[in-house]
């Protein structure tokens, strides 16, 4: 077996998981947008309901109060399938506010095949705030398509990069579910052939993980 000299960028990818997942979080999860302050309305006369009461209630809808444990959001069978050789327990990344933002990462190099998967949850102040942040994130990663039947809105995009003749294909799936945002990043490389996994493989893997993550969110703690 010949000795391989890994490209600098891909060597960084198999550095300690904290560095990898921290980079993934920056790339895939922007800060939640904060709704603009609402002006106080004048007191209503007795017996007269507020004309914008329904709209105000809709703007502050909040289903989820805390992010679920991310490392328990993906089944062991799925981890073994998507990231061969990785520890199924995963590694949770430290967060400045674990009640609202949590991320878990799995990565492994098996033979010459490298895979990385991370799952992030972010809890925002309202459905409206989550929807706004979701739209901004989708706009920033144009070129993908919708993911139907998951949460309130879903989007998937796959990109291929090449550095030092080494290909890496990465899929990102973003889901808005009420006031929560779920982001899955899944990528892979073959260090022997220098080719990347097929687009379909990466896209389907990322979507599968996203569906499990949303199911874990929905079955977990609610506000």
Q: Tokens 């006031």 — which residue?
A: 179
The pair of three-digit structure tokens given for residue 49, joined into one six-digit string: 């309901």
What confidence score (pLDDT) does residue 62 get?
78
- Could you give the 3-state DSSP secondary structure of residue 206? helix
Sequence-separated (6 or more) residues with CB below 8 Å from residue 46: none
What confidence score (pLDDT) does residue 83 get?
98
Closest CA to 114 of 30, 63, 190, 48: 190
- Could you give the 3-state DSSP secondary structure of residue 200? helix
C-alpha–C-alpha distance, residues 146 and 138, integer Å? 10
Contact between 193 and 45 (Cβ < 8 Å):
no
Sign of CA dihedral 82, 84, 88, 93: negative
What confidence score (pLDDT) does residue 60 get?
60
Q: Tokens 């052939």 — which residue?
A: 193
Q: Would you give per-residue pLDDT tens digits along the chain (223 residues)?
A: 444 444 444 444 444 433 333 333 333 334 334 344 443 333 343 334 444 545 455 456 679 999 999 999 999 999 999 999 999 999 999 999 999 999 999 999 999 999 999 999 999 999 999 999 999 999 999 899 999 999 999 999 999 999 999 999 999 999 999 999 999 999 999 999 999 999 999 999 999 999 999 999 998 744 3
Q: Tokens 């922007």 — which residue?
A: 30
């Amino acid at each position: 077996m010949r000795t391989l000299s890994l490209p600098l960028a891909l060597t960084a990818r198999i550095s300690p998981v904290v560095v990898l997942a921290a980079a993934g979080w920056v790339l895939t999860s922007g800060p939640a947008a904060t709704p603009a302050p609402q002006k106080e309305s004048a007191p209503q006369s007795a017996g007269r309901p507020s004309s914008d009461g329904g709209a105000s209630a809709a703007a502050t809808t909040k289903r989820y109060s805390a992010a679920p444990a991310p490392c328990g959001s993906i089944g062991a069978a799925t981890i073994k399938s998507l990231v061969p050789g990785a520890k199924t327990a995963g590694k949770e990344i430290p967060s400045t506010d674990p009640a609202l933002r949590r991320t878990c990462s799995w990565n492994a190099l098996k033979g010459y095949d490298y895979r990385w998967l991370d799952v992030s949850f972010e809890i925002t102040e309202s459905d409206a705030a989550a929807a706004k942040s979701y739209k901004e994130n989708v706009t920033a990663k144009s070129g993908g398509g919708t993911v139907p039947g998951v949460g309130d809105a879903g989007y998937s995009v796959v990109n291929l990069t090449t550095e030092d003749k080494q290909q890496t294909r990465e899929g990102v799936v973003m889901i808005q579910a009420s006031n929560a945002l779920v982001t899955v990043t899944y990528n892979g490389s073959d260090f022997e052939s220098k080719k990347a996994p097929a687009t379909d493989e990466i896209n389907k893997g990322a979507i599968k993980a996203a569906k499990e993550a949303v199911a874990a969110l929905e079955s977990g703690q609610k506000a």
